[in-house]
Structure 1
Amino acid sequence: MDAADDHKWFPWAISAIAKESVLRGNEYRHAEIDNRRLSKLVHLLNSSSDVSPGQSAASLLTPIMYEQFPYQESAYEEMARTHALLVYTEPGESSIPWDEVLGVGLDEAVRASHVLHAWVVNNAGRFDPRILDMPHFQEIYHKVAPRAEIEAAAKLLTADIPSLRDARREADERASLPSRLERYAYNPLKSQPLVDLGREGIWAPQTMLVSRAFLGANLYYRGLARWGKPFADELGDRTQRYVGRQLSLLDGVVLYPEIEYSKSQRSVDWIWVSDAAVILVECKAARLSLDAQAGGDSLAGVMGRYLGAARDQIDRTAGLIRADHSAFDHIPKDRPIVGLVTTAEQFYLAGTPFSGFQSSGAIPAATASLRDLEFLVGLPERDAAHLVIDHAHPNGEGGRFGGAFSDSERKRRNPILEEAWSHFDLLTDMDQETADSDK
């Protein structure tokens, strides 16, 4: 695209257009695209509507948020959390053998994808493997990432058109969406964003997908495909430990791990005792299904299954505390009890009147993602506790938790993320800036 062009294309629109081109294009449609044609496609996408009569606010807003918001989140937290959640291991705990899936360690794969991202951004979206042999590129192998790691990542992220179509077909066999939700259906470019067009070269239609290919949901599904339920269980345990590590950053916090009050019966994952309230923290590593993210028929049921189960656990633990169960003798009884449900991914509408799920419970509760939690623990402990209390309501409609932080609060230091980022310390300043520069 001409650098002088003043158009600003929304990244989710480019992703959707690229997906349709990959899945529906053929050899007879070979006209070159220019800004005028691209502008027309973006306009058609933006003006398209699949609103159904009687559609709820949740089914209307959820797909829009899942389509757009991930592109607007800082890559810093996503990259750092990837290490802190999926690589960092306490002594005595088992590590995840990511090299079985990626060919290299996860840190190395993330760093190499960052190099590839910077590469395609600065080469108008093209990835030319011949540059690996050029003299000026050799310095990269010493300062940023070894050649073998870059090549391994490039191989994993590259696919031709038939392979991408096969990936979509396999995804549809596992869980297909109705045709009216095609805009939000699985996009194979999120896992393999480099498209091999043969003699036409290798291209990244949406360069932002390159640096995100080894983050978030992509890693979740790669791990699930390789290890199945044991991986999901491991992720649940890691999420619980990660939440505890983050809460421990609060100054002077009093924090207790889950309590086994009867054989094989446990409390919520963490009990945070603040001067203002006892905060019961339940962690959920589950992710919304693709149909739920698209605002499909399963949305309310999935929200109920995940958040509802967490609310039940909070209510159960609160009942034991109030009933003076001996296992909870060390928990104060002289202050209110509220709940905090933490989710591994963003449940964007959780805690709002538009969630589509009445997250009711006997104990008022708020819902926060790990991203929200990382901002929360930057506050003084007292302020953090009051923020949870302010967002905790019996019916779950306390307002979107993530919208409660000011710009300055989002910039507070988080030692866990900073330590995790240090594992990518071969990245130059230019690389870090490039992580969010693609539009």
Structure 2
Amino acid sequence: MINLLTNVVQDSVAVMEAPAAVVAEVPAEVTAAVADAAAAGATALFTANNIWMMLATALVFIMHLGFAGVEAGFGQSKNTVNILFKNTITPIIGLITYLICGFNLMYPGDFGIIDGVLGFAGFGLDAGDGASIDYAGGGYTYWTDFLFQGMFAATAATIVSGAIAERVKLSSYMIFTLLYVGIVYPILGSWKWGAGFLDAAGFYDFAGSTLVHSVGGWGALAGIIVIGPRLGKYVDGKVIDKPGTSVPLAVIGVFLLWLGWFGFNGGSVLSADPDLVSFVLVTTCMAACTGGLFGFLTAYAVFKRMDLGMVLNGILAGLVGITAGADVISVNNSLIVGAVAGIIVVLSAITLDKFKLDDVVGAVSVHLSCGIWGTLAVGIFSMNPEHSFATQLYGVAMYAIAAFPIAFILFFVLKKTVGVRVSEQHETEGLDTHEHGIRGYTIVYDE
């Protein structure tokens, strides 16, 4: 359907652009009909593109439910309500701050403050004359653009939530989210997606292995360093397992994330182009498969057990890994990208434990370690000869230099002012009862 509409538009334009002598021989009725057909075709194509972008937006929104499931499933039952509260409030804060200033920081139009680094188009939303077929080359409306990008923004903070779960003060987390999603993420995102200096340098990140996942991952790493591990996690040089509440819930969460990634990557095509969207969905899905497979194999080689948690994180690792190059890496090479990500996520988790860096859901290993790998993989496997490993490495370094120190400073200032960690009593007895007054799981027995 899309190809047919595209051909109609192209043929109509060709007739309209024909030499005057030829057009003069065409009856006025035919010329008018051609013009009407071109307009109708363009409108239909615009509508199809916009519908796909809205559907992709809905799929990315579902990812927040997936994150909530994973975090609640891997967390302890005594903290379930606290975890779900954070995962509920995060997209709320993210979308409001993105509306107020984030969208216009990320897409400033003109880097009038610091060229290529910082610009601002003003507060709030103003479609002007852009909420029409003229906006974004007929791909989608201004409003669809805002909402799709806003869902991405909220994801960056959700990544942090999982890593620092079960001991962070809710008020401090909310302040961090407000600043990190509302200001930091959009500015860093503008460097590539807003036509900033990294875009000019040739850095490539199709859907956010670095811009979303690594930025969130750097924030998560800063958080677990400043806040410290959960009580009793590391004792006498040993890692003490803290069993999660619900393995089924964690599995459901991962599959919801996998589903949402079809919108995350597929929507990043920014149109309903049938060939490219289909291709992106295939590379995305295949990387997830090999990520899960090699997460399982690596964990089995190391732990001598069939570790479901590593299979789940391996799936997510593969998805994160392919996100930077889902449109420029071949299907066969997407298998390699996913497989390497599946290996990396296990080794990264082991390394973090050696340094006593407590990450409840493995967010740093999944989003930061594999986000870096996926971004560099573009420089290795991209079918576009203009993409180079050196440029990709440069982009990774720029985001590391910016995102980690900023996140660390935010957490450090919060620690020294309002505090970032709950009391020992609250952590031991559970955040649900003390912070929220209810429990996530309550069994009532009839007397």
TM-score range, shorter chain: under 0.3
Higher strand share: 1
Q: Point out the structure with the larger helix share.
A: 2
Q: Give the TM-score normalised by the residue count of structure 1.
A: 0.28
Q: TM-score, normalised by structure 2?
A: 0.28
- Higher RCO (CA-CA < 8 Å; seq separation 6+): 2
